[in-house]
């Protein structure tokens, strides 16, 4: 196994696996979550985070790099529990046909604070995920068709 930039690379007969077990383990230790029960998902669909809600965390030193506000810390705790439950996961790359496939999506105004839309894409090369991105659009669109047009122009 080789480690490059915090990513562990395991070579096998059927391909290679990229993982971040060591990094996740260190993160869980630093935050005091190394013994919590893992969760199957990183977030519940009903959770909404607002920039105007929450009070700053009192113990800033311990949680400065994790979450600046108590409301966000509840979400971060859920993500840390998900990481605990998925610490053995990784990306598997296997030899396959050389084809390039791209998927894109745009979500119209999901952020209740600023109504900006979210755009995302993922690219597969030979069936293996090689790139992905998700970000807010710089414009506020008035329709799904308009945000999809903005999304296509931004890539």
User: pLDDT by residue (tens digit) across 14-65?
Assistant: 888 889 999 899 889 988 888 999 998 888 777 777 767 777 666 666 555 6
> What integer pLDDT is reported at residue 71 of this predicted model?
61
Q: Copy the structure tokens of residue 137.
A: 């659009």
Over residues 107-125, the mean pLDDT reads: 75
88 pLDDT more than 80: yes
Residue 81 CB coordination number (10 Å): 19
> What integer pLDDT is reported at residue 84 of this predicted model?
94
CB distance 87 to 81 below 8 Å: no
Instruction: Give the start-to-end residue ranges of the domains of the chain.
Output: 2-85, 96-154
Strand order in the sheet with 128-136: 100-107, 118-125, 128-136
pTM: 0.61
> What integer pLDDT is reported at residue 148 of this predicted model?
62
127 pLDDT more than 60: yes
For 64, which DSSP code? T
CB distance 121 to 100 below 8 Å: no
Over residues 129-155, the mean pLDDT reads: 68
Phi first, then psi: give them for residue 130, nearest 5 degrees.
-120, -20
- Across the chain, mean pLDDT equals 77
């Amino acid at each position: 196994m080789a480690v490059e930039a915090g990513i562990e690379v395991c070579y096998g007969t059927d391909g290679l696996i990229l993982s971040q077990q060591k990094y996740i383990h260190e993160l869980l230790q630093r935050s005091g979550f190394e013994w919590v029960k893992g969760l199957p998902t990183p977030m519940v669909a009903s959770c909404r985070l607002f920039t105007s809600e929450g009070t700053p965390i009192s113990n800033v030193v311990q949680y400065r790099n994790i979450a600046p506000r108590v409301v966000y810390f509840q979400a971060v705790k859920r993500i840390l529990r998900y990481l605990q439950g998925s610490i053995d996961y990784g990306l598997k790359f296997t030899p396959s046909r050389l084809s390039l496939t791209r998927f894109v999506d745009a979500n119209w105004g999901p952020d209740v604070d600023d109504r900006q839309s979210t755009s995302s894409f993922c690219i597969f090369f030979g069936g293996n995920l090689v790139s992905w991105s998700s970000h807010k659009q710089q414009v506020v669109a008035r329709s799904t068709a308009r945000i999809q047009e903005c999304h296509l122009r931004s890539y």
